Amino acid sequence: MSVRDRLPSGHGNTALLAGIGCLLVGGLFSLTPLQAELPSVLYVFVEVGITFAIYGMLVLGLDLQYGHTGLVNFGHVVFFAVGAYATAMVAAQDTFSGIGLGYPWPLALLVGVIAAALLGVVVSATSIRLRDDFLAIVTLATAEIFHSIFVNFEGIFGGNVGILGVPRPIAGLVGDADTRVVATLLVLGGVTLITLATVTRLTDAPYGRVLRAIRADELVTRSVGKSTITYKTQAFVYGAALAGLAGGLFALYNGAVAPGFFTIQVTVTVWIGMLLGGAANHRAVLAGLAIIMGLRLISRFGLGVTPVSGDVFAALRLVVVGLILVAVIRFRPAGIWGDPQELGVDR
């Protein structure tokens, strides 16, 4: 069983190859006249798939922080938002509101990742020594503070309108709408698969062993000579940088950023996805996220056939999500694919 003996091998490489494959095919669609035909029924699935790929990077970063290291980050959306805003502001041309500098998008994406990582460094430097629940409060507060800043500093961040006119590299290359969404899904999915391969390599290595030891007992980990503060900071910053990457890619896919895209709902979705699938197992957290996002998708169709109004239906949807979470915690506290012994919930 892979959990028992995490010697380097296995599915990390498959994900890496699959990711590179996706990128190549996506590139093929973008750069050559090759066209994809997409039945209109599938359109919505592809769109949700794109969002899933972006949120997938978020949940993988969160799993590194919480699943492996035990750091409770309730403000994950802030790193997503900072990555997105930084990328958007560096790359945007002729934005209607806020700042747009009009630099090339690869530079903007890099700035987005670095900005999110830097925020991760700042939060770590001040708060990583805090006990779990206090770190949760600090991260939650950080997310709220930044949300207010984005809304209120209109001259810089464009207020509720946000930043418009962000270049869309794939849309710029492909005119045809069907080909465009397919290429986008392939490219973003490829990046997510490569992210999966990367975090898997990290956590399969002795590095991951130290992270899991910190989650189990920090003092013991220190007493066998590991500098736990360094590892906690690194895990936190890596998770933040991944969220920044997701944010930057989101801005470049969406063509605009606004506070409405970065609400606490994002944090809640990735947390539920992680807990549902099973923390500390990268593939499981992605599967959990797929379930929760799939449920939203199905319920979108459900609205048409139920006799209730849209408002009631939205409320019911939340009730169902809540019930699923309660059921998981009650019957499978480690998540669907999580290992109860590894997560210490088997007692």
Partner 1 sequence: MSLLSADGITKEFGGLRAIDDLSVSIDEGELVGVMGPNGAGKSTFFNCVSGVIPPDNGTVTLRGTDVTGDSPESLAHRGLVRTFQDTRELETMTVRDNVRLAAPDQSGERTLPALLRSDEMKNEEVAVRRRADQLIETFELDHLADEYSSNLSGGQRKLLELARTLMLDPDVLMLDEPFAGVNPTLTNEIADHVRGLNDDGMTVVIIEHELETLTSLVDRLVVLQQGRLLVEGEPGVVLEDERVIDAYLGGDVE
Binding site for partner 1 (CB under 8 A): 4-8, 198, 201-202, 205-210, 212-213, 215-217, 219-228, 234, 238, 341-344, 346-347
What's the closest the beta carbon of residue 113 comes to partner 1, in angstroms?
15
What's the closest the beta carbon of residue 118 comes to partner 1, in angstroms?
17
Neighbours of 33 (CB within 10 A): 8
> How far, in Å, CA of 282 to CA of 275, rounded?
11
In the bound state with partner 1, the residue whose beta carbon lies nearer, of 212 and 283, is 212
Question: Measuring CA to CA, how many Å separate 149 from each of 85, 218, 258?
Answer: 12, 35, 12
In contact, 98 and 156? CB cutoff 8 Å: yes
What's the closest the beta carbon of residue 282 comes to partner 1, in angstroms?
14
> How far, in Å, CA of 184 to CA of 200, rounded?
24
In the bound state with partner 1, the residue whose beta carbon lies nearer, of 70 and 98, is 70
In the bound state with partner 1, the residue whose beta carbon lies nearer, of 67 and 169, is 67
Neighbours of 321 (CB within 10 A): 18
In the bound state with partner 1, the residue whose beta carbon lies nearer, of 180 and 282, is 282
In the bound state with partner 1, the residue whose beta carbon lies nearer, of 188 and 213, is 213
In contact, 258 and 97? CB cutoff 8 Å: no
**Chain CA centroid to CA 2, Å:** 24
What's the closest the beta carbon of residue 58 comes to partner 1, in angstroms?
20
What's the closest the beta carbon of residue 16 comes to partner 1, in angstroms?
11
In the bound state with partner 1, the residue whose beta carbon lies nearer, of 215 and 282, is 215
* Helix, strand, coil percentages for the chain (3-state, nearest 5): 75, 0, 25
Neighbours of 148 (CB within 10 A): 11
What's the closest the beta carbon of residue 311 comes to partner 1, in angstroms?
44
DSSP string, 184-232: HHHHHHHHHHHHHHHHHHHHHSHHHHHHHHHHH-HHHHHHTT--HHHHH
> How far, in Å, CA of 203 to CA of 64, rounded?
8
Phi and psi for 79 in degrees, rounded to 5? -75, -35
From the list 320, 324, 268, 305, the residue with the least C-alpha distance to 62 is 268
Q: Would you state the structure tokens that stand for residue 215, as one six-digit string?
A: 């989650």
What's the closest the beta carbon of residue 317 comes to partner 1, in angstroms?
34
Q: Which residues of 2-19 are buried (b: 16+ CB within 10 A; e: fewer)?
A: eeeebeeeeebeebbebb
In the bound state with partner 1, the residue whose beta carbon lies nearer, of 11 and 212, is 212
What's the closest the beta carbon of residue 68 comes to partner 1, in angstroms?
11
In the bound state with partner 1, the residue whose beta carbon lies nearer, of 64 and 328, is 64
